[in-house]
Structure 1
Amino acid sequence: MNPVLHKIVETKHEEVRLARGKNLPPRTLPIRPWESRLKTNSISVIAECKKGSPSSGILRPDYFPVEIASIYEFSGAGAISVLTDSEYFFGSLGDLKAVAESVSIPVIRKDFIIDPIQIDEAYAYGASAILLIVRILSPKDLTSLHRYAKDLGLSILVETHNREEVKTALDAGATTIGINTRDLDTFEIHKNLIEEIAPELDESIIRVAESGIESYADWQKYKGIVDSMLIGTYFMKSKDISSDFKSLLSGN
């Protein structure tokens, strides 16, 4: 495991330890449909709210997640991803709650989830879905966490980086699989990964392209082989998200 990723996971273990025993607020929002928003007649967009990342630093100094989420919803996003990691991505559960309360489309908690308490947090703070990353979980833990989230009524995006991880995800019961072109060990983008793997997945699986999507050409390239694209950095670097959202989909 990459030293940075290893450090992140170590931090998560400490966060989990501190979270145990804390009282969570009761959920006040409905769980919003996820699958129907992602699998449409075109490629849907999971638009991401993230202030920064370990590889890029601060992406958006003027980071106002509720304002950004409103633009995403108005622009036609199928769902919104909110980074909740504080130490490495500068997010929070407060961001998740604020965004979930401000939009009417499903919101996914994007974090490095290794324990059921983090799923309880996602549920309490209004998420309709969570992210599980195959790379940081044993097959047994992946299956257990997937089942735990499903029993709460949450949807699950299972992130993979190669064919072996896709098989592990399918064995765990995943029905929404993300193919991330960013290698978590090197942080390099492998552009052809989605074209190599996505067509091999059954049509019943919701296929999500992740990372490195930044142009209309990418959008066109993935037509017919994925159902949705998770896009963050492209929007976070944008001076006009609404305009760039439109140009990504239309080329204009």
Structure 2
Amino acid sequence: MNPILHKIVETKHSEINESRGKVLPDRTIPIRDWKSHLKTTSISVIAECKKGSPSAGVIRPDYNPVSIATEYESSGAGAISVLTDKSYFYGSLSDLQSVANKVSVPVIRKDFILDPIQIDEAYAYGASAILLIVRILSPEQLKLLHEHATRLGLAVLVETHNQKEVDIALDMGANTIGINTRDLDTFQIHKNLIEQIAPKLDSSIIRVAESGIESFEDWQKYKGMIDSMLVGTFFMKSKNIPADFLALLNGKTANRN
């Protein structure tokens, strides 16, 4: 495991221990249907709210997740991803709750989930889905966490990076599989990964392309292979999210100035 990823996981274990015994708020919003928003006649967008990352530092100094999320929804996002990791991605559960209370599309908690308590938090703070990363979980952990989320009525995006991880996800019963082109061990992007893996997945699976999508051309070659694309950094660097959202989808030149 990459030293940075290893450090993140260690930190997450400490945070989990601190969370035990805390009283969670009562959920106040309905769970939004994941499949109907992502499995559509065209490629849907899971638009991400994240202030920064370990590899890029602070990406958006004027980060306002609610404002960003409302722009995403009005632009046509099928779902919204909210980074809740505070130590490395500058996020929080309050960000998740604020966004979930404001939009009517599904919101996914994106974090390094290792324990059922984090899924309970996601539910309490308004998420309709969670992310599970095969790279940081044993098959037994993955199955336990997936089952826990499903019992609560939450959808699960299972993130993979190679065929072996996809096989683990399928054996466990995943119905939404993310193919992350970013190798979490090296942080390098492998764009051909989508073309290598996605066509092998049954069309009943919600197939999500993750990382490295920054242009119309980036995802056009995936048409017919994927159902959705998760896009974060591209939007976080944008000075005009609605314009760049449209540009990403229709091929017009985005205004990046």
1:171-208 per-residue CA deviation (whole Å, 9 max, x = no partner) reads: 11100000000000000000100010000001110000
Instruction: For 2:29 and 2:105, locate their aligned partners in 1 and report how far apart those are by CA, in whole Å.
Output: 11
Instruction: Give me the whole-angstrom Cα distance separating, in 1, the residues matched to 2:195 and 2:56.
Output: 25
Match of residue 40 from structure 1: 40
Number of aligned residue pairs: 252
Letter of the 1:181 counterpart = T
Q: Distance in 2 between matches of 1:167 and 1:24?
A: 35
In 1, Cα distance between the equivalents of 2:219 and 2:62? 27
Secondary structure at the aligned position of 1:222 is classed as coil
- 1:66-88: CA deviation from partner (whole Å, max 9, x where unpaired): 00000000000000000000000
CA positional deviation for 1:118: 0.1
Distance across 1 between alignment mates of 2:74 and 2:27: 25
Equivalent-residue separation in structure 2 for 1:215 and 1:11 (angstroms): 34
Structure 1 residue 237, shift from structure 2 partner: 0.4
Which residue number corresponds to residue 190 of structure 1?
A: 190
Q: Which residue of 2 aligns with 1:101?
A: 101
Match of 1:161 in 2: 161
> Alignment identity in percent?
75
Shift of 1:219: 2.3
Is the partner of 1:209 in helix, strand or coil?
strand
Q: Which residue is 2:208 aligned to?
A: 208
Extract unaligned runs of 5+ from structure 2: 253-257
* Partner AA of 1:145 in structure 2: L
TM-score normalized by the length of structure 1: 1.00
Match of 1:83 in 2: 83
Aligned amino acid, residue 131 of structure 2: L
Cα distance per residue 1:116-135 (max 9 Å; x no partner): 00000000000000000000
Which residue is equivalent to 2:28? Answer: 28
Alignment of 1:29-68 (within 5 A): 29-68=29-68
> Structure 2 length as normaliser, TM-score?
0.98
Query: 2:240 corresponds to which letter in structure 1?
Result: D
CA distance in 2, matches of 1:219, 1:6: 31
Q: Does 1:134 align with 2:162?
A: no
**Runs of 4 or more off by more than 2 Å in structure 1?**
none
Letter in 1 for 2:108: I
Task: Tell me, in whole angstroms, the C-alpha distance in 1 between the residues paired with 2:125 and 2:172.
Answer: 25
Report deviation, 1:11.
Answer: 0.6
Q: Could you say which residue in structure 1 is the equivalent of 2:125?
A: 125
Deviation of the 1:221 alpha carbon: 1.1
Please tell me the residue identity of whatever aligns with 1:136: I
DSSP-derived class of the 1:82 partner: strand
Correspondence for 1:4: 4
Moved more, 217-226 or 239-248: 217-226
